[in-house]
Each structure stands twice: as structure tokens, then as C-alpha cells.
Amino acid sequence: MRKKICSVVVSTAFLVAAAGAQAEPVLQGKDAYGDWRTDKPGTVRLIRPQDLVKPGATPSAALSAPVVPRPAEAALQVPAGFKVELFADGLRGPRIVRVAPNGDVFVAETRTGDIRVLRAGEGGKAATNEVFAAGLKRPFGIAFFPSGDNPQWVYVANTDSVVRFPYQAGDLKARGKPETIVASLPADGGHSTRDIVFTPDDKRMLISVGSVSNVAEGMGNPPGGLDAWSRTQPLGAAWASETERAAVLAFTPDGKERKIYATGIRNCVGLAIQPQTGLPWCSTNERDGLGDDLVPDYVTSVKEGAFYGWPWFYIGGHEDPRHAGARPDLKDKVTIPDVLVQPHSASLGMTFYQGTQFPAAYHGDAFAAEHGSWNRSKRTGYKVIRIRMKDGKPTGEYEDFVTGFVVSDAEVWGRPVGVAVAKDGSLLVSEDANGTIWRVTHP
């Protein structure tokens, strides 16, 4: 294990190592890249499009992440002044976490097909643990509708559909069988997660759908030819098995008026609405196979009608060599993401901080969970990062916030997936390797 850093804060669960209080310099260019051994809370990174290496600068590596039971001496690290303690354990692969207006914590156990409800008791740890709904098909996204303190429905995004349950504040069990709102989402293999958010005016429902493939291998030509296709489809839309994939879809809350909202986003795993602007944001897994330091994952605002490059380009006009010359018409139409994250980090769930418990500097910032790499020779990710904002706009910088899930070069005990702000302003972090949720507080 890594040595603990700086002072130790006593927790009822694990002892927590806190990062140093002094501001760290911003690591840029090649210095912004690292691996789990150099991660520590407070480390700030800035990766820019001009910093990218050429494809194939290093071989494409395969380094799996064997999961071991959580070691007794395991300690999560957080910035100075924060502490982290166990909120819940014994869960079955908890993934996305969403907090109901009354404070109940809804958790998607994707592999088992369950939505679970946790309720905090004395000391902040989960004291109530109930299965809200079972028998779903790889559920992931959860949303409450309409907005406000008294939602009437809980929406769940399955891998192939969207369903909803009638809801009243405090329900621990679903009131009857689910009502199907969207009967068919693309679901034939590939990325299975579907997140869901509603726009602030409650008029639109957005659903993220990842690609089938890494980089649309063998997609071929669209029906009727590229020119005809491009005239009738959204900018950068894919076809064949990738139809309506690598995209964010839009519907009315009743599942009608189906449209493609944005394209070229390989795997938008986590969706969130930025409170200051009302814009949807997306935490994205980019493509593999181009070496250790390509292609950056990213966290970005998602503009309606925008094209983010996949599969032909990445991070602006950088052409993927596996599609060289295929779509020159799109090169100057690629929207560059707001915040680039170290390649292969596997950025998953995200949220914006609107609580009052953390220092004022955190208000309006975003957090994202990095599930961890497999396509990199030196392990990276396996942490929670803070996305820095200034006056509601991203600076491009991100900061290590929770680290310590890796045991060694060969083993990990935790893989972060979901992040959510609890009613009391603490930050909840799920990891699906050992089935735990952690609570970060600022006493």
C-alpha cells in the first residue's frame, strides 16, 4: 500500500489520510499524465488538445484489474479538512447513485437487476436497506420526476428501455409494476449503460447510449450512400449497428418525440444537469487501441446538435488512423470537449456540487468517478476527481479528490462508479468491485 499522507483523521470505519493543505501547482502537458502511484488528493491536472501524442506512440497494452477483498489496512485519501467513512457495504455491484429530495439514496445494482433504497441513520451510515424494485434488465440511470421536492415518479433506464414507477416521498418499495415509457433502446451488445436526466423545465428526457464497438469497425457505408445519408441525418450520426448509438437521445417525459440530441460521444456513461446553465453534461469513455496516452476520456457540456468526433475524429480534428480519409467533411465540425481526462481512466458517473457542507470554493464544481484503466501499461483512474469551475464555466483543470482504491500494480479493491450529493451536503461514492458506498464529509 502507499504510505498515508499528512495527518490522519479518525473515522468510525477506516483511518483516512489527508492531503497537504498547500495548493499544488497545475500539472500540464506530459506532466499531467501519471498512474496510481502518483495520484494524491489536491493534485491538479490540465490536459489540452495540443498536448496529445501521436497514435501508436506506445503499444496498445492490456492490463486487467484483478479485484481482491478490501484489505483491512485499506485507507482512502481525501484533501485536508475532509474525512471519508463507510456509508454502506454488502451491496451487489452498486453503480449509479441518486438522492431523492427527501434524502433517501437510490442505488442501481445493475448486474442483479435491482434498484435499492438506503436511508441514513445516526452518524450518517445507512441504517435502512430495502430493494425498491427487482427483475429489471441491467438498470443504470435513475431520475425523479417532476423536479422539485415532491416527485411523482421514479424513472429507471434499463439497457433496452425506460420504465417508471409511481412514487411518494419515503417509499421504500415500488408501488406496483413498472410502466414502460420507451419500449426500445439500442441494446444489441457493446456498452450497456443508459443514464437519464430531465431538463430543468421538465420538458425533455435525455438518455445516453454508448457505442456497440470500440471505433465502428466494419460499419461500412450507410444505405443510399454517404451524401444522401448526411443530408437527412443529424451531424455525425452513425448507421448500421451503431444507429442511435454513441449518442444522447431526447424524448418528452412520456417517451414521445424521439430525437438524437448529440452525436459522436463514444460512451456517455454519466449524465448530469449543470444547475447554473441548465446544460446537460456527460462523463465519457473514449476509444481504446491507440496507445497508453490516447485517447483522453472527457467530461463535457453537451450542446444540442453537436458532434464530438467518434468514430472518425477525436478531441477536435485529430483523425483516427483506423478511419483515415473516410469523413473529411466532418473534420472542422467536431466540438472539442470541455475537460480532458487522462486516457483510459474510464470516467463514469458525475454530479455537480450544490451542497453547503463543503467549502464555498467547491460550490458549482463537478465530481466524476474514474472506474480505472485496462488498456494502459501503467494503471490509472480508480479515483474520484473534482472538475474545477469558475463563474459556472470549466477551467479545463481537474483535481484528484478521492484516491486509494488500488492495492498494487497487480490488484485493486475498489472501482468507483457513482457520485451523488447527499441531502446533508456530503458526497457519496459507490464502487462496484467490493460493493461499498463511501461518504465524504467536511466537518
E strand map for 138-253: 141-145, 153-157, 162-166, 179-182, 196-198, 205-209, 247-251
Q: How far apart are alpha carbons 58 and 264 in whole angstroms?
A: 25
CATH code for position 373: 2.120.10.30
Residue 205 to residue 314: CA distance in whole angstroms: 27
- Look at residue 123 in the predicted model and tell me its pLDDT: 86
Instruction: Cell numbers for 66, please give them.
Output: 484483478
CA-CA-CA-CA dihedral for 78, 79, 82, 87, to nearest 10: -20
Which three-class secondary structure state does DSSP give residue 185? coil
Contact 280, 252 (CB under 8 A): no
Alpha carbon separation from 440 to 24, 387, 433 (Å, rounded): 21, 16, 19
Cell numbers representing residue 332 in the block: 472542422
Cell of 111: 448486474
367 — phi, psi (to 5°)?
A: -125, 145
Q: How far apart are CA 392 and CA 362, in angstroms?
A: 11
What is the model's pLDDT at position 218?
A: 84
- Please give the pLDDT value at position 24: 72
Task: Please identify which residue in the block is written with the cell numbers 457520485.
Answer: 419
Whether 126 is in a domain gets the answer yes
Please measure the distance between the N-terminal and C-terminal CA atoms of the chain and give it in whole angstroms.
Answer: 27
Cis peptide before 154 (omega within 30 of 0): no
Q: In which residue are the cell numbers 473534482 written? A: 386
Q: What is the pLDDT of residue 197?
A: 98
Check residue 13 and give its pLDDT: 38
Residue 3 within a domain: no
381 neighbors 403 (Cβ within 8 angstroms): no
Spell out the per-residue pLDDT of the chain, length 443, in tens: 333 333 333 333 333 444 334 567 899 999 999 999 999 999 999 999 999 999 999 999 999 989 999 999 989 999 999 999 999 999 999 999 999 999 999 999 999 999 999 999 988 899 999 999 999 999 999 999 999 999 999 999 999 999 999 999 999 999 989 999 999 999 988 999 999 999 999 999 999 999 999 999 988 899 999 999 999 999 999 999 999 999 999 999 999 999 999 999 999 999 999 999 999 999 999 999 999 999 999 999 999 999 999 999 999 999 999 999 999 999 999 999 999 999 999 999 999 999 999 999 999 999 999 999 999 999 999 999 999 999 999 999 999 999 999 999 999 999 999 999 999 999 999 999 999 999 999 98
Distance CA 69, CA 57 (A): 35
**pLDDT number for residue 229:** 94
> pLDDT value at position 260?
98
Q: Which three cell numbers stand for residue 1?
A: 500500500
Does 1 reside within a domain?
A: no
Report the C-alpha gap between 84 and 398 in whole angstroms: 20
> Going by C-beta distance under 8 Å and a sequence separation of 6 or more, which residues neighbour residue 345?
297, 370, 371, 372, 373, 380, 381
Cell numbers at 16, concatenated: 483516512
pLDDT of residue 23: 64
Sign of CA dihedral 208, 210, 216, 219: negative
- Confirm whether 129 is domain-assigned: yes
Does residue 14 lie within any of the structural domains? yes
| Residues in contact with 22: Cβ distance below 8 Å, sequence separation at least 6, in sequence order | none
SS3 228: helix
Residue 108 lies in a domain: yes
User: How many angstroms separate the CA atoms of 308 and 208, rounded?
Assistant: 14
* Residue 14, CA atoms < 13 Å, CB-side half-sphere: 26
Query: 389 with 364: CB under 8 angstroms?
Result: yes
Domain count, the chain: 1
Q: What is the C-alpha to C-alpha distance for residues 96 and 31, in angstroms, rounded to an integer?
A: 31
Q: Maximum distance among all alpha carbons in the chain?
A: 66
Per the structure block, which three cell numbers stand in for 97?
447513485
pLDDT at 188: 85
Residue range(s) defining the domain that contains residue 390: 8-441
